[in-house]
C-alpha cells in the first residue's frame, strides 16, 4: 500500500508543477477565449492520473518524471533516503532532514511514515467519496417532486438556482418563476454544458480530487477549472446569440445572485457560482479573431503537449549519478586530456571516494543531443562499482557534463571547481578494463564503396582511436558539415557500445589538412595530421 501511496504522491507533486504553470499561463491568456484556459487543465488531469508519459525533445518539465521520480518507490528501503527533484538546493535541504534507518531499530522510520501516510490517504479518499454519494442521493431525493416543462427540462418550487444533474442521463433543473428571456438564456447555457460533456468532466475532475485530496494545489486547480468551465460556457452563449445580448444576459446572471443563489452541495451537479466574475467577463467580452485566435490556440496546444511529455533522455545516467553511494564503489580512476603522457592518469585512494561521490551526486544540467565543439580539455572519472559495472563522468571544458555518453549543459561555476590532476602515465590494461566500447571498427572507402575493413583490437590501436576523438573534441573551432559521399576517399571510424548503440566518425583530408566529422550531419574539425597518418598507415597494412 505504501508503494501505491508513493506513486500517487509522485504524480501529485508532478501535477502541482503543471497546475502552477497553468495558473501562470492563465494570466497571460486573459484576452484569449476562456475555452483556451479550460483546455489547459487537461494537462494537469493527465499528470494526476497517468504515472508515465512519452518522451520528447520538446518538454516543459525540468526532469523526467518516469526515469527520475521525485520520490523513488524504494526510498523507504534506502540506507540514505534521497529525493530527486532536479533542483539541487531543494534536494540538499530535504535529504538532510529525511530520517535514516538505525541499525538497532526494528523498522525503518520512513517506512512506518509511508504506511501511516497511505492509511490516512485511503481514509480521506473514502470519506470524500462517501460525501459525494450521500450529497448526490440527498439532492436526487430533493428533486423527486420536480415536473417536466420541456424537453429534458424540469422545474421544482424548492429550487433557487438552475443546474444540470446526472451523468448518463443529464437533466436541466430550473427554479420556478423564470421569465421567458431568463429561461431562454439559462437553457442555452445548460445545454452547452451537456453538449460539451461538462456534466461528465466535472464529476470526473472531482474524482481526481478525491484521489489527491491531500494536495492543496489540486483543490486550487479544481476551483479554477470550474471557473474556466463556466466562463467559457458564457462566452459560447454570446458567440451563438451575438454581442447584443451582453446586457440582458448579464441581467439574467444578476437575478441569480439577488437573494436566489444557493449551494447545491453535490459535485455531480452544476450550480451557477462566481456570478460577479461571470457578469464582469460577459460585459467585457470581445471575441478574439484571426491571427490572435490562432495564436492563442497554438500556444494552448504547445503548453498542453509540453506539460504532458517528459524531457527525452534525461535518463538513467543522471539518475545513477545522483544516487551513487560511496559504499558501492570498487575503484575510481582519472584520465586528463590534454596532458603529457607522464601525468595523464590517477587512481584515487578509498579515503578520497566520499568527496568525489558528493560531487557526482550534484550532477545536473540540460540534456544536449549534439554538444558543440569546445575549447579546453576534458577530465574523465571512471567509476567501477562492486557489481562490476564501469561508468564514466567527464567534465568537458567546464561546459558539458558527460555521464555514460549523455551530454548535459551544466553550470560553469560548478564544473570549474573540478580540480583533478593526473600523476602518472596510463596503465597498459586501463582501456581494456574501463572501455564502454566493445568494438572499434575502421572502414576505408573510395567513392562511397568499402575497400578495407578492420577491427582495432590491441591496446595501441584503441588508444589511437581515442586520441583521434579527443583531439577533435578539444579544438576551439569547428567547420561546416561536409557531404562525405562526394569525397574521393575517406575513413569511417565506428565505436560500438555495450548498450547496442554506435557512434560514427568520418576522417578525410581537405587541402592537405586532416579532418574528422561526427556522423554525416555533424560538424567537422581539424585534427593532427600525424593521428590521421597513423590510422591510414595501419589500415593500408591490412589491405
What is the C-alpha to C-alpha distance for residues 271 and 235, in angstroms, rounded to an integer? 17
| Interstrand relation of 55-56 and 524-526 (parallel, antiparallel or unpaired) | unpaired
pLDDT band per the 50, 70, 90 thresholds, residue 104:
very low
- Percent of the chain's residues with pLDDT above 90: 25
pLDDT band per the 50, 70, 90 thresholds, residue 213:
very high
- In the chain, DSSP finds a helix count (H) and a strand count (E) of 16, 19
Q: What is the pLDDT of residue 261?
A: 41
C-alpha cell at 484: 562525405
What is the C-alpha to C-alpha distance for residues 534 and 462, in angstroms, rounded to an integer? 12
Q: Which of 279, 273, 275, 35 is nearest to 163 (CA)?
A: 273
pLDDT per position as a tens digit, 447-474: 888 889 888 877 788 888 888 887 777 6
Strand, coil or helix: 267: coil
Secondary structure of 93-133 in HEC code, one letter for each residue:
HHHHHCCCCCCCCCCCHHHHHHHHHHHHHHHHHHHHHHHHH
421-454: b (≥16 Cβ within 10 Å) or e: ebeeebeeebbeebbebeebbbbbbeeeeeeeeb
In sequence order, what DSSP letters do the residues of 129-166 get, joined into one string?
HHHHHHHHHHHHHHTTT-EEEETTEEEETT--S-EEE-
pLDDT per position as a tens digit, 131-148: 888 988 888 888 887 887
pLDDT at residue 38 greater than cutoff 90: yes
pLDDT at residue 70 greater than cutoff 60: no
Strand, coil or helix: 367: strand
What is the C-alpha to C-alpha distance for residues 509 and 65, in angstroms, rounded to an integer? 46
pLDDT band per the 50, 70, 90 thresholds, residue 205:
very high
pLDDT band per the 50, 70, 90 thresholds, residue 103:
very low
Q: Which residues contact 302 (CB under 8 A, 6 or more apart)?
A: none
How long, in residues, is the chain?
543
C-alpha cell at 520: 554525416
Q: What is the pLDDT of residue 184?
A: 85
pLDDT band per the 50, 70, 90 thresholds, residue 74:
very low
pLDDT band per the 50, 70, 90 thresholds, residue 295:
confident
What is the C-alpha to C-alpha distance for residues 212 and 209, in angstroms, rounded to an integer? 5
Amino acid at each position: 500500500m505504501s508503494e501505491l501511496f508513493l506513486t500517487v504522491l509522485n504524480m501529485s507533486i508532478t501535477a502541482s508543477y503543471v497546475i502552477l504553470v497553468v495558473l501562470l499561463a492563465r494570466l497571460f491568456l486573459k484576452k484569449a477565449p476562456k475555452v483556451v484556459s479550460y483546455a489547459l487543465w487537461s494537462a494537469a488531469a493527465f499528470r494526476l492520473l497517468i504515472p508515465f508519459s512519452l518522451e520528447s525533445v520538446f518538454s516543459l518539465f525540468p526532469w523526467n518524471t518516469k526515469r527520475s521520480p521525485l520520490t523513488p518507490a524504494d526510498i523507504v528501503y534506502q540506507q540514505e533516503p534521497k529525493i530527486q527533484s532536479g533542483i539541487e538546493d531543494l534536494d540538499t535541504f530535504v535529504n538532510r532532514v529525511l530520517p535514516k534507518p538505525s541499525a538497532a531499530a526494528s523498522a525503518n522510520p520512513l517506512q512506518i511514515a509511508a504506511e501511516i501516510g497511505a492509511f490516512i490517504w485511503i481514509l480521506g479518499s473514502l470519506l470524500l467519496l462517501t460525501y459525494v454519494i450521500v450529497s448526490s442521493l440527498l439532492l436526487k431525493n430533493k428533486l423527486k417532486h420536480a415536473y417536466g416543462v420541456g424537453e429534458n427540462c424540469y422545474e421544482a418550487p424548492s429550487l433557487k438556482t438552475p443546474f444540470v444533474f446526472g451523468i448518463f442521463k443529464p437533466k436541466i433543473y430550473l427554479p420556478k418563476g423564470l421569465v421567458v428571456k431568463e429561461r431562454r438564456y439559462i437553457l442555452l447555457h445548460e445545454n452547452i454544458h451537456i453538449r460539451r460533456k461538462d456534466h461528465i468532466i466535472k464529476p470526473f475532475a472531482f474524482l481526481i480530487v478525491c484521489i489527491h485530496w491531500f494536495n492543496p494545489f489540486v483543490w486550487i486547480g479544481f476551483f479554477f477549472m470550474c471557473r474556466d468551465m463556466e466562463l467559457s460556457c458564457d462566452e459560447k452563449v454570446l458567440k451563438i446569440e451575438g454581442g447584443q445580448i451582453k446586457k440582458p444576459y448579464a441581467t439574467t446572471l444578476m437575478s441569480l445572485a439577488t437573494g436566489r443563489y444557493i449551494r447545491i452541495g453535490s459535485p455531480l451537479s452544476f450550480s451557477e457560482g462566481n456570478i460577479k466574475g461571470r457578469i464582469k467577463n460577459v460585459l467585457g467580452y470581445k471575441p478574439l479573431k484571426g491571427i490572435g485566435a490562432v495564436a492563442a490556440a497554438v500556444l494552448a496546444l504547445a503548453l498542453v503537449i509540453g506539460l504532458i511529455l517528459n524531457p527525452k533522455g534525461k535518463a538513467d545516467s543522471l539518475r545513477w549519478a545522483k544516487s551513487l553511494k560511496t559504499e558501492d564503489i570498487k575503484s575510481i580512476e582519472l584520465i586528463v586530456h590534454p596532458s603529457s603522457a607522464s601525468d595523464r592518469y590517477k587512481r584515487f585512494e578509498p579515503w578520497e571516494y566520499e568527496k568525489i561521490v558528493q560531487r557526482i551526486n550534484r550532477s545536473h544540467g540540460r540534456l544536449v543531443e549534439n554538444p558543440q565543439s569546445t575549447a579546453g580539455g576534458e577530465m574523465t572519472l571512471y567509476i567501477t562499482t562492486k557489481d562490476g559495472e564501469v561508468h564514466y563522468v567527464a567534465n568537458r571544458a567546464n561546459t558539458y557534463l558527460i555521464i555514460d555518453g549523455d551530454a548535459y549543459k551544466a553550470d560553469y561555476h560548478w564544473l570549474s571547481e573540478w580540480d583533478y590532476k593526473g600523476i602518472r602515465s596510463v596503465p597498459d590494461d586501463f582501456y581494456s578494463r574501463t572501455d564502454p566500447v566493445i568494438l572499434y571498427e575502421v572502414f576505408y572507402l573510395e567513392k562511397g564503396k568499402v575497400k578495407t575493413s578492420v577491427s582495432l583490437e590491441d591496446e595501441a590501436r584503441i588508444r589511437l582511436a581515442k586520441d583521434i576523438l579527443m583531439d577533435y573534441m578539444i579544438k576551439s573551432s569547428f567547420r561546416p558539415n561536409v557531404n562525405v559521399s562526394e569525397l574521393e576517399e575517406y575513413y569511417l571510424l565506428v565505436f560500438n557500445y555495450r548498450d547496442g548503440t554506435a557512434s560514427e566518425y568520418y576522417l578525410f583530408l581537405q587541402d592537405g589538412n586532416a579532418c574528422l566529422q561526427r556522423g554525416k550531419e555533424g560538424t567537422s574539425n581539424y585534427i593532427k595530421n600525424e593521428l590521421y597518418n597513423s590510422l591510414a598507415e595501419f589500415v593500408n597494412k591490412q589491405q
